[in-house]
Amino acid sequence: MDSVGNIIVYFIAAIAIAVFSVLTVTSRRILRSATYLLFVLLSTAVIYFQLGYQFLGAVQIAVYAGGIMVLFVFAIVLTHKPNDRSGVLDTHRRIVGLVASGLGTVLLLFALFYMPLPHDASLAECLTSGREITMQQIGEAFTGSGRLQYLLPFEAISVLLLACIIGGVTIARKR
Amino acid sequence: MEITLPILILAIPVCMFLLLGIGGVYMPRKVAGVLGILGMGTTMTLAYIVAFTYFFSGNPEFIIDGVRQQFQVFDVTWLAFTERLVVNLGFILDPISAMMLIVITTISFMVHLYSWGYMEHEPGFQRYYAFLSLFSFSMLGLVVATNIFQMYIFWELVGVSSYLLIGFFYKLPSAVSASKKAFIVTRFADLGFLIGILLLSFYTDTFNFISMTSNPEAVLSSTGGATFMGASVLTWAMVLIYVGGMGKSAMMPLHIWLPDAMEGPTPVSALIHAATMVVAGVYLVARMFPVYCVVDDSLTFVTVVGAITAFYAAVVACAQIDIKRVLAFSTISQIAFMMVSLGCAYDQPVEGVHYSGLGYMAGMFHLFTHAMFKALLFLGAGALIHAVHSNDYTKMGGLRKYMPITHWTFLIGCLAIAGIWPFAGFFSKDEMLAAMFSRHWFWGAWMTMVAGLTAFYMFRLYYLIFWWEENPDYKHHKPHDAPWQMSLPLIILAAVSCVAGFIPFGEFVTWNGEPYHIHIELPVAATSLIVAICAIGLATVMYRQRNEWPTRVKNMCPGLWMAAHRRFYWDEIYMFITHKIIFGGICTAIAWFDRHVIDGMMNAFAWVTQKVSYSIRGMQSGQVQAYVVWYFLGAALLAAVTWICLL
Amino acid sequence: MFENILIWFVVIPVIMMIGLGLCRNSGMKAIRAVMVVGSTALLALSVVLCCDFLRLRGMGVDDEMLFTGSWLWYAPLNIHLAVGVDGISVLMLLLSSVIVFAGTFASWKINPLPKNFFLWYCLLSTGVYGFFISIDIFTMFMFYEVALIPMYLLIGVWGTGRKEYSAMKLTLMLMGGSAFLMLGLLGIYWHSAPEGGVPTWNILEIAHNSAIDPSWQNLLFCCTFVGFGVLGAMFPFHTWSPDGHACAPTAVSMLHAGVLMKLGGYGCFRIAIYLLPAAANELAWIFIILTGISIVYGAFSACVQTDLKYINAYSSVSHCGMVLFAILMLNTTAMTGAILQMLSHGLMTALFFALIGMIYGRTHTRDIRQMGGLMKIMPYLGVCYMIAGFASLGLPGLSGFVAEMTIFFGSFQNSDLFHRVFVITATCSIVITAVYILRVVGKLLLGPVQDKHHLELTDATWFERLATVTLIVCIAGIGCFPNWINETIQHSFVPIINAIQGAI
Amino acid sequence: MDLSILWYLVPSVIMTACGVYGFITRKNLIAMLVSLELILNSADLNFVIFNRFLFPGSMEGMVFTLFAVALAAAETAIAIAIIINIYRSVGDSDIHKVNKMKF
């Protein structure tokens, strides 16, 4: 039995995710849709916190909501044209999109309800049965090279990020 | 016998061909001419030595107890099809091949000599002599063949030499088409020959003449009584082989090439299309004679074809304007005579027949004499053409005063071919008619009539050229006798035509090698002589001086005259078949079919592939959004399929 | 590896390619030098091989293949580079060398990009040589493909007329054929060993095992025979031939019609018939009908063509049809005839194409209606053309006669009515061949000169003469003295005939 | 009432569906990228949810999500650089006008 507080927080986050997701893809103004996306990301961070992944939630807010969104906003402003009509959708595309995403949703829901998932395990049980993830554990996981330790991917990601920065600068610079 | 001489007989002409053919361009014409004549002269001498050795030496290789033997001087393997079916190249000496050696080398030498004068101013003189040498080689190789396949090899080679020589004036379209026609018609006949050889050799397992002819019954039994469409296989084989002979010897209905072949230089006509190559068919039948006798049907076929051809050619010869064409049809008729004679011979004694092999002997005798006087006539015609520059007798007339040598020699030739005593043709023709009468009176009577026609058209030709009425053009351009190189062969051949009849031919050439003493069959001789004289008389009345009789006769039945003049429309029929049906119908249709149906199928295949790929290409649009749609549709499809399967 | 003489047939062209690579693009002299030296070396090598082969046979060495060698190439699939020759391969190698040699001289003045042309040319010959020396069917197939690909570029770049279309058509049709072929070869491989054995690609081992199930054989036979038949221009898969040949440059036409089409015939008996004898006995009749049609059909089609190369291409259809036809007769004599016909056709078609190239290079047309009387203008080329024509129509003394006669007499050994009818139909082609050859000779060489401009044209140059003389000498050599070749071939057919007899 | 795994997965499904819809219907490149982020985010969320509910004792799902967030950052940076570049050369960020390199 989960606490009422948890349930309320869950519902707020879930409803926010659903509403802002829909708004993100239906809004005609790109800047607005980027803003809605920010709300979706923040709501996701809330769920991360609720699930007990504080570090992840912090990263989500810092990197996604903080870093990536800024990039989006810059890009939108840079490529913005007055009287942009690209947000206006024609019916044909809308139907195609609805059909495809509808089919996908049906498939996913079908999978959700037919998969042998442990429906009975509640969040509270899982939180108590699982151990608290400390920063030390995360740090060890990222800096070790043993089993279930990720030094190599970590380094690879670092190099990749560096490459992306350089690549981004090279591609986007003025000629 | 030493093999040096026989090898030289074949080697000299072929070397001469290579020498003149390859090096001729770099030689002056005199050198080429002299080389050619010397080469042929040497060959002739050697051939005479070989032939005389064969006939007169009495060597047991050649004659045993008075019976002449067939002797293979050499016989080397050329190509082995299977272990037993081996093609050899060899040199056979027997009465007919020795006789042919003499005929070929003599005529060839005369023609070589004659051409020096006749072709003097023609371009390509060296080439001409090279081709003549090639022809002589091929013809000699043909007659000395030890096996039927060797004969086929040289048969093709003479065909090609003939093609090259007919088309010698290759800038004239008519010469080109004539040479083409000659080659293709004979080639068609050779197809029959080839299939005949295929059939025969399959059953006998040999190509060799001696093993076939020495035991013809074995040939028959080897076929095991196989039949095809009611006739025995051997009959088919022999008839098909004879078809080859019909082509070369211009029998109906494959005769159409010979008149056109007169487009070639006249000496060539004398050599190839009168004396030697065209008798190859006769020679072939004579060579295979014992085998023909086993299947009587095929021999009857030979006779019937010969009789029809002889009459047809004689009728057509009466209505020709071109003097060489008259001679060409006369040649066809005379060769048919020989064929009928061969067809009327037996290979074993028959009751009521005085000498069963008479037809064979007589046919060969006529081959010999005919070669001489027909070559003479052609060379004479050449001299006339040389003088008048036309083949057309309407451009001639009254030439006897201007060209005495030609006139007299031509007259001798005409008398010989008409069968007047004591010229050569009388003796051979008499023997032939006697043989025909001994087979059946009908053949004798029929061929006597043809002999009469022969006398008529030859003297018609003679009078129209030398008498009739002088052409007024002579005043501007006076015709004269030919130079000595041309006159000498005329005189020699005329002399031979006078005396050749007295050669005791039966002593030398008979079908089985046993000598036979020729004697004149008085009733037959008298009949044919009377018929000939009557015909000559008629010709004299009609054509000695310009008069209205020929026109009147012509007007009595203009249709017949026109038909004869147009050679009973054989050429038109052939034209229709080859051009309209084969070219226009079959070939064009097949070519169209290939381009449009077969290739069209391939192109259609390519087209469909292209269309399909164009239409599929739209899916690969490069638009990520479309891919996403496809992805979800595909995933849904897969899920649906899985679900259906799981149900 | 390099002590084996056969390997050098592949190595020399590769060395030539390296040599060409070192030449400058416009260094015509250096390029020619490389080509002349290389092709002469190949010719010499073939002659040496031929003499050596005859010497060994004379000494009584009775192995099926001589000069064998085998080097492992890819172990998991048991692929070897296995080489070895019998009399037939030796003759084929000789033929290829002669034609490569003549082709070098026939393309003396190739333009543009001479270096690249000869590079591809060398690659093409590598494929051809590799095919003939291989006795491992995988490497055989590989070399076959190696020979095929350069054709596309050679025709597409240096060709004339609708060259892109023709190059595409030729390559695609032959590739389609090799798809079938690949299928057949894989099938042969997987069934090559008896139960539990290791499958092999080696021809000798497969033939020795003779483990392929008869029901499989039928399918595989159809695949391989059609695959090679496409290359051998078998009806109805022949249409690449007229277009491809018509557009190809001279030397490529020579090599393609002269040697590459022979790969088809060679493969048919070496793989389809030798390895699948039971199916060959059973299914030969189908292909006899097709090839019989090829013979007559090609000849008839040639009669009405007006383009010199088309005439020759259709005549190739007819003559190559004869090759396959004879192979299907399944007896020694006919198959010997087939090999003779391959040699003969290779030489004379190469001569034809060389001459057509030379004439085209002068008159700039191949339409016989626009030409005439060329004999007067260029007597040397005219005479050569006539010789080629006579070889084609089967004049005794030239190679065509020997080949055709051996085929006819061999085919006639089959005494049932079906075979007889088709043999007689095939013999008819000698007349039709005469018709179209004489038609061309008459229109092209004889008669009056059609075009005044042609009067200024010149006769053959020394390199053209060298190319033609080489071929003519070979044609006349085979035609005059056929027996030694005949014996060599017949000896080589013994194992194949035994296999066929054993499978009845 | 229990907050079981299904409760948490449902918002994730909605996010995916919206992302797909947006990705298909949007014409603007940046808007497409935004939709893409939605999909990516839902995947991240799923990792974490599964980690928590199915394997509460381990932390692999979270680690994966961390990596995915880093990768998303990299990807977005590059994508935006490319979009800006395209905008400069084409003068538009409409996906249907960016097809010069297609053929």
* pLDDT of B343 higher than 80: yes
What is the Cα–Cα distance from B454 to B457, expressed in whole angstroms? 5
Q: Which residue in B has a C-alpha nearest to residue D27's C-alpha?
A: B625
Q: Pairing mode, if any, of strands B86-93 and B71-80?
A: antiparallel
What is the Cα–Cα distance from A161 to B567, expressed in whole angstroms? 103
What value does the mean pLDDT take over residues C463-487?
89
What is the Cα–Cα distance from B463 to B457, expressed in whole angstroms? 10
Question: What is the reported pTM?
Answer: 0.84
What is the Cα–Cα distance from B49 to B54, expressed in whole angstroms? 8
Rounded to 10 deg, the angle between the B233-248 and B173-204 helix axes is: 160
Would you state the pLDDT for residue C324? 92
Omega before residue C112 within 30° of 0, cis? yes
Which has the minimum average pLDDT: A86-100, B154-168, C378-392?
A86-100
A79 contacts D83? CB cut-off 8 A: yes
Sorted by where each starts, the structural domains of chain D and their CATH numbers stand as 5-90 (1.10.287.3510)
pLDDT digits (tens, 9 = 90+) for D53-97: 888 888 888 999 999 999 998 888 888 888 888 888 877 777 777
* pLDDT of C405 higher than 70: yes
**In chain B, % of residues over pLDDT 70:** 100
B170 contacts C409? CB cut-off 8 A: no
pLDDT digits (tens, 9 = 90+) for C113-164: 888 888 999 999 999 999 999 989 899 999 999 988 888 888 888 888 888 8
Q: Which residues of A touch D31 (CB under 8 A)?
A: 30, 33, 86-87
State how far residue B630 is from chain A, nearest Cα, in angstroms: 8
Tokens of D81: 């650089």
Q: Which residues of A touch B633 (CB under 8 A)?
A: 100, 103
The class (CATH top level) of A1-88 is mainly alpha
In the B/C pair of chains, how many CB contacts fall below 8 A? 124
Helix, strand, coil percentages in chain A from 3-state DSSP, rounded to 5: 75, 0, 25
**CB under 8 Å, gap of 24 or more: what pairs does A152-161 form?**
A153/D67, A157/D67, A157/D70, A157/D71, A157/D74, A160/D71, A160/D74, A161/D70, A161/D73, A161/D74
Tokens of B457: 């058209």
Tokens of C406: 């051996």
Q: Which residue has the tokens 């007349």?
A: C431
Q: Is D32 on the interface with B (CB under 8 A)?
A: yes
Would you state the pLDDT for residue D101? 63
A119 contacts D24? CB cut-off 8 A: no
Q: Pairing mode, if any, of strands B231-232 and B63-64?
A: unpaired
Would you state the pLDDT for residue A18? 93
* pLDDT of C45 higher than 90: yes
Contact C270, C277 (CB under 8 A): no
pLDDT digits (tens, 9 = 90+) for B461-476: 888 888 877 777 777 7
Q: Which residue in B has a C-alpha nearest to residue D20's C-alpha?
A: B628
Q: Which residues of B touch C424 (CB under 8 A)?
A: 195
User: What band does B290 get if pLDDT is binned at 50, 70 and 90?
Assistant: confident
Would you state the pLDDT for residue B564? 79
Contact B210, B202 (CB under 8 A): no
Name all chains with 3 or more CB-CB pairs below 8 Å to chain B: A, C, D
What is the Cα–Cα distance from B79 to B89, expressed in whole angstroms? 9
Q: Is D40 on the interface with B (CB under 8 A)?
A: no
Would you state the pLDDT for residue B194? 92
Task: Return the closest-CA partner of residue B416 out of B473, B501, B342, B489.
Answer: B501
Side chain identity at B21, as an amino acid letter?
A: G
Sign of CA dihedral B462, B463, B467, B471: negative
What is the Cα–Cα distance from B125 to B413, expressed in whole angstroms? 28
Would you state the pLDDT for residue D1? 67
pLDDT digits (tens, 9 = 90+) for B545-581: 888 877 888 888 888 878 878 888 888 888 888 888 8
State how far residue B611 is from chain A, nearest Cα, in angstroms: 27
State how far residue A32 is from chain B, nearest Cα, in angstroms: 22
Q: Which residue in C has a C-alpha nearest to residue B591's C-alpha?
A: C301
What is the Cα–Cα distance from C142 to C148, expressed in whole angstroms? 10
Side chain identity at C22, as an amino acid letter?
A: L
Tokens of C340: 């003779």
* pLDDT of B394 higher than 80: no
What value does the mean pLDDT take over residues C372-387?
88
Would you state the pLDDT for residue C339? 92
pLDDT digits (tens, 9 = 90+) for A2-42: 788 888 999 999 999 999 999 999 888 888 899 999 999 99
CA distances from B364 to B335, B337, B342, B431, C225 (A): 11, 11, 9, 10, 55
What is the Cα–Cα distance from B121 to B139, expressed in whole angstroms? 27
User: To 5 degrees, how large is the angle CA C33–CA C37–CA C41?
Assistant: 170
**CB under 8 Å, gap of 24 or more: what pairs does A142-151 form?**
A142/D63, A148/D58, A148/D60, A150/D63, A150/D67
Would you state the pLDDT for residue A1? 61
* pLDDT of A105 higher than 70: yes
What value does the mean pLDDT take over residues A166-175?
81
pLDDT digits (tens, 9 = 90+) for B223-252: 777 777 777 888 888 899 999 999 998 888
State how far residue A170 is from chain B, nearest Cα, in angstroms: 25
CA distances from B156 to B111, B248, C126, C390, D92 (A): 22, 10, 40, 11, 83
DSSP summary character for residue B394: G
Q: Which residues contact C26 (CB under 8 A, 6 or more apart)?
A: none
Contact B311, B304 (CB under 8 A): no
What is the Cα–Cα distance from D95 to B628, expressed in whole angstroms? 14
State how far residue C231 is from chain B, nearest Cα, in angstroms: 15
**In chain C, % of residues over pLDDT 70:** 100
pLDDT digits (tens, 9 = 90+) for A63-102: 888 888 888 888 888 887 766 666 666 788 888 889 988 9
pLDDT digits (tens, 9 = 90+) for B580-599: 888 888 888 888 888 888 88
What is the Cα–Cα distance from C132 to C129, expressed in whole angstroms? 5
Of residues D23, D96, D99, nearest to B628 (C-beta): D23
B622 contacts D95? CB cut-off 8 A: no
What is the Cα–Cα distance from D20 to D9, expressed in whole angstroms? 17
Rounded to 10 deg, the angle between the C87-106 and C28-58 helix axes is: 160
D30 contacts A76? CB cut-off 8 A: yes
pLDDT digits (tens, 9 = 90+) for B109-130: 999 998 888 888 888 888 889 9
* pLDDT of D103 higher than 60: no
DSSP summary character for residue B56: H
State how far residue A39 is from chain D, nearest Cα, in angstroms: 11
Would you state the pLDDT for residue D102? 58
Mean pLDDT value across chain B: 87
A63 contacts D73? CB cut-off 8 A: yes
Phi, then psi, of B397 in degrees rounded to 5: 110, 135
What value does the mean pLDDT take over residues B613-631?
83
In the B/D pair of chains, how many CB contacts fall below 8 A? 18
> Element (H or E) spanning B350, and its range?
none
Q: Which of D24, D27, D32, D97 is the mutation pick for testing B, counting most B CBs within 10 A? A: D24
What is the Cα–Cα distance from C361 to B169, expressed in whole angstroms? 27
**In chain B, % of residues over pLDDT 90:** 20
Q: Which residues of B touch D96 (CB under 8 A)?
A: 623
Helix, strand, coil percentages in chain B from 3-state DSSP, rounded to 5: 75, 5, 20
Domain count within chain C: 1
The number of angstroms, rounded, from the C-alpha of B294 to the middle of its chain's C-alpha atoms is: 25
Asked whether A and C share 3 or more beta-carbon pairs under 8 angstroms, the answer is no
Q: Which residue in C has a C-alpha nearest to residue B205's C-alpha?
A: C413
SS (H, E, C) B507-544: HHCCCCCCCCCCCCCHHHHHHHHHHHHHHHHHHHHHHC
Full residue range of the structural domain in which residue C486 is found: 5-503
CA atoms within 13 A on the CB side of B386: 27
Of residues B160, B194, B590, nearest to C395 (C-beta): B160
Other residues' Cβ atoms within 10 Å of the Cβ of residue D89: 10
B628 contacts A103? CB cut-off 8 A: no
What value does the mean pLDDT take over residues A108-115?
83
